Structure formats: structure tokens, C-alpha cells
């Protein structure tokens, strides 16, 4: 399938863009010691239309860094979601938690969203149990708001993206300073633009109008890898 001038194909099993192990499209094997994959990043973000551009930004930025985004979108229906979510976190070397949606939703019977802070709690517990196997990061749109919304995180470095894709790229390069692959923010933007251009075709091929579906997310990761390899090679 060709999207945005890129011929999509599943990445070869066991290889990442920078030569690290990540496995094929939906899975990344653990290393020989049985620890979490060194490049998998659990992505804890809201699943709604208004967050679409930021999901694309996280996918573009992480992939450009040679990392492999994972999300609960991959969890099959019918399985106990809590168990599978925690298992997915355990399989990832990193987790990234976007807590920018702390307000109540606009629907009748408005309620706050607890999934993101709850999954952050799972990651914190796992990191406390296995400190050498997991590192978590918190992202937010507004400075200092987390001091009120989740005061237990006082003293934690929070990465502020201000609700913009460019902010996501900048903060990702700050969070993952130790990665072997260091793309520029401009290179991440090129991958992002390619994802945004190809998204509607990916949604049509999946027979859905939502970005937040397993197949769409899967194809976005494949497209992001192809685009990142193209733009990294053109440096």
C-alpha cells in the first residue's frame, strides 16, 4: 500500500530504524535477560478527536528517535483490560503519560478522565518494583497545573508541550537525551506532516472514521518508520 509517496510494508522482524530489536508491527521481543524491550514506549494519552494531532506528534517523534510506541489500542476485545494494560507497561522500557486532559468532558453527566492518571500509577508502581527496567515521563499542556491536579507528583520533572506538536517534539528530545538516535525537531515535523497527510487514507483502508483504532495505529507506526528512515537518511 502506498501512502503519501511511501510504500508501506511491515518492518522486518527484530529490527528497528536504528538497528535495535523491536520486532514486527505490533510486538517487540524482550531482550535475552527477559527484561522489557529497550525501545518500547507505552503511550498513555486520551483517545479523542481533539487529541489527534498530538497522537500523530508522539508517534512521529518517538519513531524518529528510534523508539517504538505502544498503546492500549493494541489490546484485543474480550480480554481483561486492566491485566493486559499492566502487562503492556511491563513489556516497555519507558512509558509516557500525557495528563493534559484533566478537565471534565463536555457530555451530559460530565465526568473527569481517570484512565491516564490511573495508568501512570501502574507505571510508577512497576518502576518502584523494577527500577532498572522501567522509566516513566509525564507530559502536560500547562505549566504548574499538575501541582494542583496531581500534587503527589510535586518535585517530578514535567514536560510541557503547550498543546502543540512542536512542543511535543521539543520535549521528547529533552526527555530522551540518552538515545543513540538524535533527530532534529524539523525532521520530526517532516514525519508528522507525512502522517497527517496519509491518515485519511489509512482510516479509509481500515473502514473507520477514528484515528484511535488498532489497525490505524498499527499502520501509522509503519508509515512513521518509513518516513523517519527517509528523512534521517537525507540529513
Task: Please report, for the chain, the start and end positions of each structural domain, with discontinuous segments joined by +.
Answer: 2-100+110-233
pLDDT band at 17 (very low <50, low <70, confident <90, very high): very low
Instruction: Render pLDDT for 142-201 as a digit per residue (tens, 0 to 9).
Output: 998 988 888 888 889 999 999 999 999 999 999 998 657 889 999 999 999 999 999 999
pTM, two decimal places = 0.85
The CATH homologous superfamily to which domain 2-100+110-233 belongs is Toll/interleukin-1 receptor homology (TIR) domain (3.40.50.10140)
Q: Grid coordinates 512542543 are at which residue?
A: 167
For residues 113 and 90, which has the higher predicted lDDT (pLDDT)?
90
Tell me how many degrees the CA angle 184-170-62 measures, rounded to the nearest 5: 70
Pairwise CA distance, residues 182 & 145, whole Å = 30
Q: What is the pLDDT of residue 108?
A: 65
Amino acid at each position: 500500500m502506498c501512502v503519501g509517496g511511501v510504500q508501506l510494508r511491515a518492518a522486518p522482524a527484530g529490527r528497528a530504524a536504528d538497528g535495535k530489536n523491536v520486532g514486527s508491527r505490533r510486538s517487540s521481543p524482550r531482550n535475552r535477560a527477559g527484561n522489557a524491550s529497550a525501545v518500547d514506549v507505552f503511550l498513555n494519552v486520551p483517545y479523542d478527536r481533539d487529541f489527534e494531532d498530538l497522537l500523530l506528534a508522539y508517534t512521529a517523534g518517538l519513531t524518529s528517535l528510534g523508539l517504538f510506541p505502544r498503546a492500549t489500542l493494541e489490546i484485543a476485545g474480550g480480554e481483561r483490560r486492566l491485566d493486559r494494560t499492566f502487562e503492556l507497561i511491563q513489556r516497555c522500557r519507558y512509558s509516557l503519560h500525557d495528563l493534559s486532559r484533566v478537565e471534565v468532558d463536555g457530555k451530559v453527566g460530565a465526568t473527569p478522565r481517570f484512565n491516564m492518571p490511573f495508568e501512570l500509577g501502574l507505571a510508577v508502581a512497576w518502576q518502584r518494583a523494577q527500577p532498572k527496567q522501567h522509566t516513566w515521563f509525564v507530559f502536560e499542556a500547562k505549566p504548574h497545573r499538575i501541582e494542583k491536579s496531581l500534587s503527589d507528583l510535586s518535585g517530578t520533572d514535567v514536560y510541557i508541550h503547550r498543546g502543540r506538536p512542536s512542543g511535543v517534539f521539543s520535549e521528547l528530545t529533552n526527555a530522551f537525551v540518552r538515545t543513540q538516535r538524535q533527530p532534529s525537531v524539523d525532521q520530526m515535523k517532516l514525519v508528522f506532516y507525512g502522517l497527517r497527510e496519509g491518515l485519511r487514507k489509512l482510516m479509509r483502508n481500515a473502514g473507520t472514521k477514528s484515528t484511535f483504532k488498532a489497525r490505524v495505529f498499527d499502520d501509522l507506526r509503519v508509515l512513521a518508520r518509513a518516513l523517519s528512515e527517509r528523512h534521517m537518511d537525507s540529513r
